[in-house]
Amino acid sequence: DAGVTQSPTHLIKTRGQQVTLRCSPKSGHDTVSWYQQALGQGPQFIFQYYEEEERQRGNFPDRFSGHQFPNYSSELNVNALLLGDSALYLCASSRIQGAPGNTIYFGEGSWLTVV
Amino acid sequence: DAKTTQPPSMDCAEGRAANLPCNHSTISGNEYVYWYRQIHSQGPQYIIHGLKNNETNEMASLIITEDRKSSTLILPHATLRDTAVYYCIVSGGSGNTGKLIFGQGTTLQVKP
């Protein structure tokens, strides 16, 4: 049983560009959340998707957007990249049924460097 | 802001039990205590979570005080591979379907 998978693992972008990160949730999971982790900090919640809609959002600007597909996979898009967007981007998945209190699993993340 | 307080760092001798404390004095009745750990440059690894009863799995034990204002994660026989940042997180409540708010965590160093 594959866990949460993310792609790409590493990428480098230039300021002002746009980036798309991808996530496939753990089998049987229908809820996907995205987190940003800057160097030396704990992960920060960006937003959460369920039934293809954004359900919760953290304190991130509109440059950060997402999408969830019918197969529960998800994308994180960041527009107009800034140097400060350089971070590890983490995807987490869980099942909505029984929430809160369900086990939440993380992927290994996508390292984004903005130059 | 994170609802938990953890010591920034701890040491443990290899083979001994590692006891990681966490204070969550403002926890509400329907919020869970989650523990994750993160080894450098990897995604957070789920360890255990609980509501009010003590929990045990193949990785660790979670002891929650009766008033639920604090908890302790116990790694029974620490190994060098347990060296990591350990995060204690309180999450749940009405309308929350799994948003986790991370603090700074405890850096556990297991020494030979």
State percent of chain A over pLDDT 90.
Answer: 88
Shortest CB distance from B100 goes to which of A4, A45, A109?
A45
Q: For residue B93, what pLDDT band results from cuts at 50, 70 and 90?
A: low
Q: Which pLDDT tens digit goes with each residue over A85-107?
A: 999 999 999 987 766 678 899 99
Q: What is the pLDDT of residue A69?
A: 97
pLDDT band at residue B3 under the 50/70/90 scheme = confident
**Is B10 an 8 Å CB contact of chain A?**
no
8 Å CB contact of B32 and A101: yes
Cβ distance B97 to A31 less than 8 Å, yes or no, reads yes
Tell me the residues of chain B between 53 and 82 that have a Cβ less than 8 Å away from chain A: none
Give pLDDT, residue B96.
63
Mutate to test the interface with B, among A106, A110, A112, A113 (most CBs of B within 10 A): A106
Whether pLDDT at A75 is above 80:
yes
Q: Is the pLDDT of residue A2 over 80?
A: no
A-chain residue closest to B38, CA distance: A42
Q: Is the pLDDT of residue B94 over 70?
A: no
Q: Is A56 on the interface with B (CB under 8 A)?
A: yes
Interface test with A, best of B100, B101, B104 (most A CBs within 10 A): B100
Residue B92's pLDDT is what? 75
Output the DSSP codes for chain A: ----EEE-SEEEE-TT--EEEEEEPPTT--EEEEEEE-TTS--EEEEEEETTEEEEE-S--TTEEEEE-TTS-EEEEE-S--GGG-EEEEEEEE-STT-SS---EE---EEEEE-
User: Any idea what the Cα angle at residue A44 is, between residues A39 and A47, rounded to 5°?
Assistant: 140
pLDDT digits (tens, 9 = 90+) for B24-67: 999 988 889 999 999 987 999 999 999 998 999 999 999 999 99
From the list B44, B97, B103, which residue is nearest A106 (CB)?
Answer: B44
Q: Which residue of A has its CA nearest to B98?
A: A100
pLDDT value at position B29? Answer: 83
- Judging contacts by C-beta atoms under 8 Å, the chain A residues touching residue B46 are 103-106
Strand B61-64 relative to strand B55-56: parallel, antiparallel, unpaired?
Answer: antiparallel
